[in-house]
Structure 1
Amino acid sequence: MKNHNIQEDYVMVIVDNRPMYRAGIRSRVELMIPECRFSEHDLFADSLLDRHIGSSTCFMISVRNMSDKTIIHNIKKLRLLQETCKIVLYGYQQPVPKIIAFFREKISGYLPDDFTDGELRECITALAANRIYINMQIAIELMITPPPVRSRKKPLLTQTETKVANLLVRGLSPSHIAREMGRKISTISTIKSNILKKTQVNNVIDLAEVMEKEPKEMSI
């Protein structure tokens, strides 16, 4: 079935080191877009030298053996070369939620490694309408996967330092605190120095302000 939204000069660049897989994609797309021209490459670096690259070029890139860092680097390279070309990734082997990072870099679509003819058709149709594409199964998985839990900030002060800090801001001297806690004055003085260093203040007055602003982040 011919897609009438596809431009006449539509070019698909297939990047995959599996010749049979490239041939399979090509034959499937030819049935959908008879007028489509093709260019095939084993390596992504070779595709950047392709003379067919233009605003109506669609890159189909297998990322199954690429690290996340390499994938993002390659997307940025393509965007610098041709800002409006379409970029579709497929075959990602890591957990689905990590795909979001690639969409932030403005890819046009994502397909699983074993995508069907129907998914490929839907993807091409979406790209022709300037919409991004992601298949239903992955879309559902992204929706039901809870966001990562943000780790709690590491506390600035230990329990002992927190106790000493609270006594300091109440106006107690190191000698008074030493008697109350059964410690040596030199020990309390050292703890006080550590507290001021960790909170990046020079005196007890400033320490009181810091502890008032961020009480939860200060201690365990």
Structure 2
Amino acid sequence: MKHIVLVESYPIVRAGIAMLITESMSETYQIHTADSIEKPFPKDPDIIILSVNADAIAELGKKITLSKIRCSKSKLIVFCENMTYTDISNLIASGVSGFVSKRSEFEQLTTCIREIEIREYFFCTELIGLIISRFVSPQNAILPEKRHKLSSREIEIASYLVKGMKTSDIAVQLDRKPTTVSTIKNNIFKKMNVNNVMALNEVMTKLHL
């Protein structure tokens, strides 16, 4: 029996993730949970999952360092919202093996757990799209200011998108038709030369929007 440690600060979220992993992988893995990487858990687990909210990604470096000190042989998975290409690059350098967005289907996390046992790295489908878009359109990272021609309304909707809001929710928020918001979203992607919300978030961060 292999061991997984799930680190998540919110009890309800932690219990939910643990339950879903247990339901699909109980024959192979035993899961232990902790609300902090500093808390006691079994020595040298096979995998440590660091579940992090978007506003706490800056703290990941410290958590990864502590994980490596405590469990140098454990594989690390980051389960997080709104990772950018730069975040991924830095995390790879820090020793992280698995990358799964919380916006992905949950099966992506269980697939990651299985895959990093036999592969060096695993990226969920959404993050693969982000990485590919970086290389397909390298000019995106060089001169983002030349693409910035968004209206105030487009900037407002873009900010809602990178916060994780759905088109239907944004429509309610702005008292607009969902089709109108969807059209504006497509225009934003076209103007910013991106094809997903993760890439949009990275560009907006660079433009300080």
Q: TM-score interval w.r.t. the shorter chain?
A: 0.5 to 0.7
CA deviation profile, 1:72-120 (whole Å, cap 9, x unmatched): 2221221122222011111243534422110111101111123323212
Q: Shift in Å at residue 40 of structure 1?
A: 1.5
Q: Shift in Å at residue 67 of structure 1?
A: 4.4
Q: What TM-score, normalized to structure 1?
A: 0.55
1:43 to 36, 49, 52: 36
Partner SS, residue 142 of structure 2: coil
Letter of the 1:15 counterpart: V
User: 2:78 is matched with which residue?
Assistant: 89
The structure where helix makes up a greater share of residues is: 2
- State the aligned residue count: 137
8 A Cα contact 2:18 2:33, kept in partner: no
8 A Cα contact 1:97 1:142, kept in partner: no
Q: Percent identity?
A: 15
8 A Cα contact 2:97 2:121, kept in partner: yes
Letter of the 2:31 counterpart: F
Residue ranges of structure 2 left out of the alignment (5+ in a row): 144-209
1:66 to 42, 56, 69: 56
Partner SS, residue 45 of structure 1: coil
User: 1:103 is matched with which residue?
Assistant: 92
Partner SS, residue 114 of structure 1: coil
Distance 2:70 2:131 in 1: 30
8 A Cα contact 1:63 1:89, kept in partner: yes
8 A Cα contact 2:4 2:30, kept in partner: yes
Runs of at least 4 residues off by over 4 Å = none
Distance 1:59 1:14 in 2: 6
Letter of the 1:66 counterpart: A
Distance 2:93 2:132 in 1: 16
8 A Cα contact 2:104 2:126, kept in partner: no
Distance 2:85 2:77 in 1: 15
